Structure 1
Amino acid sequence: MTDVLLDTSVAVPLLLTSHAAHRAANDAIGERSVALAGHAVHETYAVLTRLPGDARVAPRDAVRLLRDRFDTAAVLDARAARSAPAVLADAGIAGGAAYDGLVALAARSAGLPLASRDRRALNTYQLLGVSVEVLG
C-alpha cells in the first residue's frame, strides 16, 4: 500500500545517488512505500533521459529505475481527466501550473499526501486541497 505520492522534484533525487538532494530525499522518504503522482512518471522519465553529460540515464535504464523504485503511478481515471481543465480553471490555475495541477489532482483523487521539493508548485497544490509534505 502506498503511503505517499511524489512529484518529479522528489523522484529524480531519490533515484539518482549523484544528485545533490539524494540523501535528504532518501532520509525524508525513509521506509515509506511511494508512488508517482499523475504524469510525474512521464516527467521523471523525461528528466532522467535528458540530463547533461554523464548524469544522463539511458532510456531502458530509466524505465528500470522507475519500475524498481516505485510501486505504481496514481493517475486520473477517464472522468477525472476529462473534468481536469474545468477544475483547474475554477481554481484559477493556468499555463504551466496546469501540469502541477494534474499532479495535485492525481494525489487528491488517490486520497494520499504529496511529497515535493518544488516550492513554486506549492500554491497550486494547496489551491487544489492536497496535503503536501515539503522536503528540503
Structure 2
Amino acid sequence: MTRYLISFNDGAMDHIPGDEMPDVGKASHAVIQEAVAAGVFVFGAGLERQRASVVATDGFVSDGPYPETKEVIGGFVVVDVTSHEEALRWAAKIADACRCAQEVREILPDPETDAMLRQADRRSA
C-alpha cells in the first residue's frame, strides 16, 4: 500500500456560504467515515487559518510562510491505498464533499519510520 496526501489550499472553501457549511461538514465527515470503514484513512485535519511559524535550521523562528509562497494548505487527509488511481477516487469524493479541488501527492515511503511506528504501536497495546 502507498500513502497519499490529499489536500486543499487555505481559502479554497471561501466561496461556500456560511449557512451551507454544516452540510459541507456532514458530507465531509461521511466521506471520512467511508474511508475509515474501507481501512484506508490514516489521518486528516483542517488547519487553523493563521500565519505559520517557520523554524530555521539554526533554531531562529520567524513568521511564515516564506515570502515566495502563494498558497498554504488549508486541510488534508492521508490515505493508504493500493494505487494512484484509488487515491484520485478518494480525492474526487473529498472534492465533492468539500466543494473544492483537491491536490493529490504520493508520500515517499520510509521503512525505518514505519518500523518505529509499528514498534510504538506494540508498546502501547
TM-score bin (small chain): under 0.3
Q: Which has the higher helix share?
A: 1
Larger Cα-atom Rg: 2
Normalization by structure 2: what TM-score? Answer: 0.25
Does 1 or 2 have the higher relative contact order (CA < 8 Å, sep 6+)? 2
Normalization by structure 1: what TM-score? Answer: 0.24
Q: Which has the higher strand share?
A: 2
